[in-house]
């Protein structure tokens, strides 16, 4: 098959029909850069996941604070009721 071009350097590729690159250098370069972009993509995704987790943890912390403040309000009400009763007796 003629007219195949190396995706790295653009030179014509000679040899077996399933050969994609003109040389080992181009093949290795291509595979290395593929690994780099994959790693970069993984890093990006990990960063997004990490920030999602942090946001969830913040939401959890806010929720816990809400519950705690609610509990303390309830205790305040209960203790004021007891105080009121003690004062009347
Ligand atoms: Zn090449």
In this prediction, residue 8 carries a pLDDT of: 93
Say what the alpha-carbon torsion angle 20, 2, 15, 23 is, to the nearest 10 degrees.
-50
Distance 39 CA to ligand 1 centre (A): 23
Distance 14 CA to ligand 1 centre (A): 11
Question: Which residues make up the environment of ion ligand 1, defined by Cβ < 5 Å?
Answer: 6, 8-9, 11, 22, 26
- pLDDT 10s digits, 2-57: 679 999 999 999 988 899 999 999 999 999 998 999 999 999 999 999 999 999 99
In this prediction, residue 2 carries a pLDDT of: 64
pTM for the model stands at 0.49
Please count the other Cβ atoms lying within 10 Å of the Cβ belonging to residue 13. Answer: 20
In this prediction, residue 86 carries a pLDDT of: 81
In this prediction, residue 3 carries a pLDDT of: 79
């Amino acid at each position: 098959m003629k007219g195949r071009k190396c995706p790295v350097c653009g030179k014509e590729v000679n040899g077996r029909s399933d050969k994609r690159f003109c040389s080992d250098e181009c093949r290795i370069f291509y595979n290395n850069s593929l690994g780099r972009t994959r790693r970069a993509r993984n890093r990006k995704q990990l960063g997004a996941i990490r920030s999602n987790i942090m946001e969830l943890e913040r939401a959890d912390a806010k929720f816990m604070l809400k519950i705690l403040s609610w509990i303390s309000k309830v205790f305040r009400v209960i203790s004021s009721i007891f105080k009121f009763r003690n004062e009347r007796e």
